[in-house]
Amino acid sequence: MRSIAGTRPFFSSLKKLTPIARQPPRYFRFYSQSRMASITVHNSLKPGPPVPFVPKTDGKISWYACGPTTYDLSHLGHARNYLSNDIIRRIFQDYFGYEVNFVMNYTDVDDKIIIKARRQRLLDLEKEKSYTPEQLRELVSKAFQAYAQSNLPLLVTQGQPELDENNYQARKDAAYGQVLAGGTLSGEGRPGDAEAKIKMHLNNMDSAAKSLQTSSGFDGAEDILLPYLDSLYKETIDTSDQTIFTDLTQRMEKAFNDDMAALNVLEPTAVTRVTEYVPQIVSFVEQIIQKGFAYEADGSVYFDIGAFEKAGNTYARLRPESRNDKALQEEGEGSLSKSSGGQKKRDADFALWKRSKPGEPYWPSPWGQGRPGWHIECSVMASDKLGDNMDIHSGGIDLAFPHHDNELAQSEAFFHQCGKGEHTWVNYFLHMGHLSIAGSKMSKSLKNFQTIQDALATTYTARNMRIVFLMGRWNDGVEISGDMRKQADNWENTVDNFFTNIKAKLAEVDAPTDGVKYLSLTGAGNSLIEDLEQAKKDLDAALRNSFDTPGAMQVILRLVRNANIYMNDKAKSSNLQPVEAVARWVTKIVGIFGLDATAKPPYDGLGWGSSSATAAADVDPQTAIKPYAAAYEKVKADVQSLHLSASSIQSALEHSPDAEFAEVEKSGEKDVEKLALPYLRATSRLRDELRAVVPTLASEPQIKQAVLALSDRIRDYDLTDLGVQLDDQTDKPSLIKFVPAAKLIAAREEKASQLAEKAKQKEEARKAREKAEEEKWAKAKVAPQDMFKDDPKYTEWDADGLPTKLAEGGEPVPKSQAKKLKKDWDRQKKLHEEYLAKFGGKA
C-alpha cells in the first residue's frame, strides 16, 4: 500500500519525536512525590472504586490512546472521548507535573474503510454508465427491494406482493409503526440501538421511495444503491492501486486533525498508522503462532483463546460477562469477515490476520495475501512505542470488549514467558463514557450523530463543548440535555463576566496586573483569601479523586460567586488584591483544563487570553491600535460639531491620548487591549462628559437630543463594533470592558429585535383596542326594543321587545329563559344609553 505520509498536518510531524523532559509548572512544583502518589483513578482492570495511581517511573507516564478509524467525519461522541483524554492528560501534566508520553494511532485499514471507499468508487462508476430512464428506474427498484430484504425484513414477508414505492408507506406503518412512534420492536422496555438502526434504515428507504416516485434517478437513492452495487461488483475492483482507500483515509485524517485543533486538544507525543506497521504486524503474529497461541486456517490467522487460557492466562479480563456475546464478537471481527474462509477452532477465536478477498486491500505474508485484523494493530504499535508494559491505555467504553480485551490477550501472549505467570501489558485502563442521543449511543453506523464541524459551526464553541464534558465524570455515560447545556452556559457566563469585570476594575485604578506579590490574611479581604485557600484544597481533592471535574467545576463556581459578592461590596471593593488573587488562580485552573486556546503553561495570566494579543505578537503597535484611534478621532470630531461650550467638554477635547499610548508602546507591550486603553479612556471620557451636560440642555431640545443620540451611538456602535463595552457608573467614569465583538453585536441585535417585537405587540394591542371599541359601539347602536326582533327562535314579543313565545311548538318562553333574556335586555339598554349620550343618536 502506498504510504500516506505525504499529508500530515497537525499531528503527523510528531510521529518520530522523542518526548522532551519537562519540569512541573513552577506554580505546582511544591507538590511532593508522596502527594503525587495519592491520586486515585477508576481502572477498568479493577472494577469498583478508584484505585491509587502509581506510575512505573516517578514523574513520568506512558500512555496509549486508541485513535480514530479514518473513514468518516468525527462526531460529538468522538469529541467526548478525545476531550476527556485531553482533560485528564492536561491535569496530569500541568497540575500534577508529570511528563506524559502520549501515543495515539490512526486506524487506516479497516472493514468500514474498505466498504465505504469501495462502494463510493462503484457508485461513481455506475453514474458514468449510459442508462435510459427505464433502466435506471429498474436498477433503483432492485436496490430498493434488496435493501428492505437485508435490513427491514418485515417489509417483505412471504406471500405479499412485491415491495415498491407505492405500497411502501402502508407496509412501513404496519410493520414498524410502533418503533416510529417511540416504542420498541418487542413492545417492551425502552428503545435502544436496534430501534435507532431501524429508523435509520427507514429514513434511507423513505428517500429512495421518493426518488422512485419522482423518477429522480440516483438522487435520494444513494444509500440503498451503495450496498446493492457492492453486492454485484465488489470483486471487480482492482485493489492493486490502493489509492481508492488511502484517498479516503488521508482526507478523513486531515478532517480529524482539524477538528482536534479546533477543540484545543493537545497534539500527541507520537502518532502511528496501521499502513506504516504491516511488516511489524506480520512479525508480531508470527511470534504469537510460535508461542502456541495462534493458528493459521486457509490464509487467515486466529488467536487461540483455549491455548491462551490453558497456559494460565486470563481472557476478557475487562468484560468477562461479554466473552460469549456473539453480536459483539461479530462486530469486532468486522462485517467483511463473515465469509473470510478458514475453519476456526471455536467461534470466540478472533482474527490476527485476515485473508484478503477480491475487492479488498492486501499485503504479502507467510500465509498469503492478506491484511491485519483490527485488534492486532494497537498491540503492535503501542508495544513498539511504549514497550512491554505501559502505565495507561485509554479509549471509549464501547471498545472494552472485544477490542481492548483482545488487545490485552494477544499482547500478553506475545510477551508471555513460560513459568513466569501472566504478563501485565497495561497497568491502568481508562474507559470514557458513552455520549448518547435519545437513549442510543451516538454512532456513525446509526447516523444519529452531529459532526464536530457542524456542532462548532452551529450550536457550540470549543470552550462551551469542553465545559459540557467537564460537567460530567469522564467515565460516566452522558446524554446531552437542555438542562446540561444551560448549566454549562451559566458556568461559562459567570466566569466570563468575572474575568471581564476584574480586568476592567484593575485597569480603572491602574492596578498592577503582573501578579499578586503578597496578600495578608488580615483586613478587608480576609474572608475571600480564606475562601481561595479552601477552594485550592477542595479542587485538589476533587482532581485526586479520579479527576472529578464536575466537583472541580463547582469549586470554581462557588469561589467566583464569593469573589463577585466581595467585588460588589462597596466597603471592601477598594482592595482588589484578594479578587485578583482569585482571578489568577481561576485563570490557572481553566488554562489547565484546556478552556483557553490562547493560553500556555504555566497559565500565569489573568482571565481569558486575548486573541488580539496573540494575533498582534508580531504586529506593529501603531498598526494594532488604528481601529481604536480612528474611533476616538471620529467621536472627537462629532463632539466638536455640536459646539458645546461646557468647560468639561472642552477639557476632554483638548486631552490627547497619544502621549499615554507612547508610554505603553515604549514599555514593549504587545497586548492590543492594553495598547488601546489610552484611546478608549479618552473616548469614554468624552461620552461621560456628554452625558453630564444633558441636564443643562433643557432649553435646547434639539441639541439635547443630538447629545443623547451621539452618546448612545458611541456605546452601542462605535465601541461595540470594536469589542468594547461601557458600563455606566454613578459619580465615576464608565467602566471599560473588553468583550468579544460578536457577543456584543449579538446582544445589540437581540435588544433591537426585542424592542421591535415590543413595538409590534403594542401596535397590535392598539389595533385590537380600536376594533373592540368599534364593535362595542356597533352593538350599542341597537335599541334594546329591537335586539330580539330578528331572532327566528321567537314569534311574539312584548312592548319592550322581549320575546314571549317560542317559534318551536308555539309555547310561551320559559320563566328561566325569560329571566336571562331580561338581564341581556337591561345590559343592552344601559349600553344603548351610553351610545346616545356619546353620539346623540347619530348613525
| Residues 118-150 pLDDT 10s | 999 999 999 999 999 999 999 999 999 999 999
pLDDT number for residue 439: 56
CA–chain centroid gap for 740, Å, is: 20
Residue 132, classified by CB atoms within 10 Å of its CB into exposed (0-12), middle (13-18) or buried (19+), is exposed
pLDDT number for residue 500: 95
Residue 6 has pLDDT above 60, yes or no: no
Dist. CA 19–CA 99, nearest whole Å: 8
Kindly indicate the confidence band of residue 7, based on its pLDDT and cuts at 50, 70 and 90.
very low
Dist. CA 23–CA 19, nearest whole Å: 13
Kindly indicate the confidence band of residue 22, based on its pLDDT and cuts at 50, 70 and 90.
very low
Residue 716 vs residues 687, 726, 744: alpha-carbon distances, Å: 12, 9, 9
Dist. CA 652–CA 682, nearest whole Å: 8
pLDDT number for residue 15: 36
Q: Between 336 and 640, where is the model more confident?
A: 640
Q: What are phi and psi of 593, to 5 degrees?
A: -75, -5
Residue 97 has pLDDT above 90, yes or no: yes
pLDDT digits (tens, 9 = 90+) for 224-268: 999 999 999 999 999 998 999 999 999 999 999 999 999 999 999
List helix spans (H) across 263-340: 278-290, 305-310, 326-333
| Sign of the torsion angle spanned by Cα atoms 631, 634, 638, 641 | positive
Domain coordinates in residue numbering, the chain: 51-107+255-459, 114-237, 481-512+527-609, 615-739, 746-776, 782-842
Among 503-512, 526-535, 701-710, the range scoring the smallest mean pLDDT is: 503-512
Dist. CA 802–CA 636, nearest whole Å: 78
DSSP helix/strand/coil, 736: strand
Chain position carrying cell 417585537: 757
Chain position carrying cell 512491554: 388
pLDDT number for residue 193: 78
Dist. CA 263–CA 215, nearest whole Å: 43
DSSP state of 608: S
pLDDT number for residue 761: 96
pLDDT number for residue 24: 39
Kindly indicate the confidence band of residue 574, based on its pLDDT and cuts at 50, 70 and 90.
confident
Q: Give the mean pLDDT of 829-841.
A: 88
Residue 611 has pLDDT above 80, yes or no: no
Amino acid 383 reads S
Kindly indicate the confidence band of residue 30, based on its pLDDT and cuts at 50, 70 and 90.
very low
Q: Give the mean pLDDT of 343-367.
A: 95
Dist. CA 212–CA 232, nearest whole Å: 21
Dist. CA 412–CA 417, nearest whole Å: 9
Q: What is the pTM of this model?
A: 0.84
Percent of the chain with pLDDT over 90: 80
Residue 758, classified by CB atoms within 10 Å of its CB into exposed (0-12), middle (13-18) or buried (19+), is exposed
| Second-level CATH architecture of 51-107+255-459 | 3-Layer(aba) Sandwich (3.40)
Which DSSP helix (H) or strand (E) runs through 371?
strand 370-372
Kindly indicate the confidence band of residue 31, based on its pLDDT and cuts at 50, 70 and 90.
very low
Q: Give the mean pLDDT of 562-586.
A: 91
Task: Annotate 780-819 with DSSP letters as a single string.
Answer: HTS-GGGTTTT-TTEEEE-TTS-EEEETTTTPBPPHHHHH
Q: Give the mean pLDDT of 501-525.
A: 63
pLDDT number for residue 526: 84
Give yes or no for a contact between 583 and 502, defined as CB atoms under 8 angstroms apart. yes
pLDDT digits (tens, 9 = 90+) for 36-58: 449 999 999 999 999 999 999 99
C-alpha cell at 510: 491602574
Q: Give the mean pLDDT of 475-488.
A: 91
Percent of the chain with pLDDT over 70: 90
Give yes or no for a contact between 118 and 244, defined as CB atoms under 8 angstroms apart. yes
Dist. CA 266–CA 187, nearest whole Å: 46
Kindly indicate the confidence band of residue 810, based on its pLDDT and cuts at 50, 70 and 90.
confident
Kindly indicate the confidence band of residue 617, based on its pLDDT and cuts at 50, 70 and 90.
low
Kindly indicate the confidence band of residue 519, based on its pLDDT and cuts at 50, 70 and 90.
very low
Mean per-residue pLDDT of the chain: 90
Kindly indicate the confidence band of residue 442, based on its pLDDT and cuts at 50, 70 and 90.
low
Residue 685 vs residues 221, 681, 688, 689, 726: alpha-carbon distances, Å: 65, 6, 5, 6, 11
Residue 313 vs residues 304, 332, 412, 423, 755: alpha-carbon distances, Å: 12, 21, 8, 8, 72
| DSSP bridge pairs for 812 | 805
pLDDT digits (tens, 9 = 90+) for 373-404: 999 999 999 999 999 999 999 999 999 999 99
Give yes or no for a contact between 142 and 148, defined as CB atoms under 8 angstroms apart. no
Residue 476 vs residues 473, 555, 719, 748: alpha-carbon distances, Å: 5, 20, 45, 39
